[in-house]
Amino acid sequence: MKLPAASRQRQAFRPRQILRVLLACGLWLIASSLLSSCGIYSFTGTNIDPTVRTISIATIQNNSPQGPAFLTQRFTEDLKDYFQRNTNLKIVPRDGDLQFDGNIVAYDFAPASIQQVNGVSQAGSNRLTIQVKIRFTNTKDDKQSFEQVFQNFDDYPANRNIATINSDPTAVRTTTDKIITDIFNKSVANW
């Protein structure tokens, strides 16, 4: 059986098209490998100098008058975990190429909106706001070092008080996770 001319043409071009696709994929893999190994860009969005290999994160103390007892330990460990998951940096106890220290300066729980119920003003929702002051030192490039207060918040229904928020293992973490992401982006993603 003889194929029509159009079908013969399509078959004749298939190996070339496959070869082009394979070549393009190969070039893309080589280029992405070179860029990420040179420290210019990585797929996690970091922009870390290739000479930076270590990171040290001091305990982030809770200096606010409020806040649950676990806040210091959890925030510090979550910050370390975030950097371990998103970089190839080795965590060292002190004197890392990148150094973080700081403290939690505010842990506030206050009404976020007021509503009238039977002529009485009461909270429609409550807001947990956390502020963390971070000192970041880049020993390889001091121009990237900074000291900054990072803040974020979450709103909760009026029927949730601070005791229920503090005893909920995920409630405080949603706020601190946003702060940790901001710290990461400011220090190594240059966003």
On the question of pLDDT at 97 being above 50, the answer is yes
**Average pLDDT, stretch 118-143?**
89
What is the pLDDT at residue 4? 60
**Average pLDDT, stretch 125-129?**
92
What is the pLDDT at residue 180? 98
On the question of pLDDT at 34 being above 60, the answer is no
Please name the amino acid found at residue 80.
K
Name the residue with tokens 């003003």.
121
**Average pLDDT, stretch 164-182?**
92
From the number of C-beta atoms within 10 Å of its C-beta (0-12, 13-18, 19+), residue 169 rates as exposed
Percent of the chain with pLDDT over 70: 73
* Position with higher pLDDT, 63 vs 119: 63
What is the pLDDT at residue 37? 42
* Position with higher pLDDT, 123 vs 45: 123
| Rounded CA separation 145/136 (Å) | 5
CA within 13 Å, CB half, 89:
31
On the question of pLDDT at 9 being above 60, the answer is no
Which residue blocks in the chain are alpha helix, DSSP H?
5-37, 71-86, 162-167, 171-184
Q: pLDDT band for position 148 (50/70/90)? A: very high
Phi and psi torsions of 4, nearest 5°: -60, 160
On the question of pLDDT at 39 being above 60, the answer is no
| Rounded CA separation 187/87 (Å) | 12
On the question of pLDDT at 112 being above 70, the answer is yes
What is the pLDDT at residue 18? 62
Three-class DSSP category at 9 = helix
Segment among 11-15, 19-23, 107-111, 135-139 with least mean pLDDT: 11-15
* Position with higher pLDDT, 160 vs 181: 181
- Report the topology of domain 48-189: Double Stranded RNA Binding Domain (3.30.160)
Q: Could you tell me how far CA 145 lies from the centroid of its own chain?
A: 18
Element (H, E) at 168: none
* Position with higher pLDDT, 3 vs 20: 20
Q: What share of the chain is helix, strand, coil (3-state, %, to 5)?
A: 40, 30, 30
